[in-house]
Amino acid sequence: MKKLVVGNWKMHGTRASNAELISGLLAADLAATAPRADVAVCPPFVFVADVADALKGSAIAVGTQDISVHAQGAYTGEVAGPMIRELGAKYAIVGHSERRSYHAESDQLVADKAKAALSHGLTPIVCVGETLSEREAGQTESVVSRQLKAVIDTLGGQLVQIVVAYEPVWAIGTGKVATPEQAQAVHAALRAQLKAAQAQAAVVPLLYGGSVKPDNAAELFAQTDIDGGLIGGASLKAADFAAIARAA
Ligand code: PEP
């Protein structure tokens, strides 16, 4: 199976810096130099149209960092699935830890966002992950399993169509990466949970995210149950992001 490498640009960029980043990514010719990776980038909403146009015809897909649960209506500030789809995006990240913590997104809201993405032809990248205090309290597996259960219960037969990203909160943007063994252990538990819910869901891609860099990507991607990465900081540098895609 091909790996999936997704860049989360978070709230970074200008039209000028995005153009430079995209020209670096196109020059890296990932279709030829990273043939074992499917690649996507998730810019802030306001840049999605520009970025999708600039990447049209390339091997790099586009996603968003969030999605509304509603298809349209009086929901000021929200962006709906059909709008995202119209711009040519393929993925929508849901439940990133920054949205769970700064925007109080509940497990059920995240699951409903995953359902909304699917109902508009987008693939949700569902993020799960524990905080440092939860890890230290030995709660890692119970936390990610609770987060994933809401998605399993909400999606029913559509479960097989999602992507899951395990992102330990203590590793996001901190430079503290989970060891390949720590990541693999959680991925194996997530895989088992998906498979127990539905046999076909054993193939759901499981990405690792949290301080993935060119020098640690290959070791993480070599783990049995790590099917790719969700990349924050390093996705803002074309050379680093390309190197991570090539590590697949
Ligand atoms: C992220 O925000 O999804 C992420 C993994 O960030 P970083 O790679 O910067 O830790």
Q: Is 210 in the pocket of ligand 1 (CB under 6 A)?
A: yes
**Whole-number Å distance between alpha carbons of 96 and 164:** 11
- Max Cα-Cα span within the chain: 48
Inform me whether the pLDDT recorded for 101 exceeds 90: yes
pLDDT tens digits, one per residue of 121-168? 999 999 999 999 999 999 999 999 999 999 999 999 999 999 999 999
- Rounded to the nearest angstrom, the distance between the alpha carbon of 14 and the centre of ligand 1 is 19
The predicted-structure confidence for 107-130, as pLDDT tens digits, reads as follows 999 999 999 999 999 999 999 999
Q: Whose CA is nearest to atom 2 of ligand 1?
A: 232
Among 4, 99, 167, which is best to mutate for testing ligand 1, by the most ligand atoms less than 8 A from CB? Answer: 167
- Report field, pTM of the whole predicted structure over 0.95: yes
Q: For ligand 1, atom 3, which residue shows the shortest CA distance?
A: 232
172 lines ligand 1 (CB under 6 A): yes
pLDDT band at residue 1 using 50, 70 and 90 as cut-offs: confident
Q: State the distance from the centre of ligand 1 to the C-alpha of 155, rounded, in angstroms.
A: 26
pLDDT at 135: 96
Over residues 88-98, mean pLDDT: 98
Q: Does 189 have pLDDT greater than 90?
A: yes
Contact 239, 248 (CB under 8 A): no
pLDDT confidence of residue 23: 98
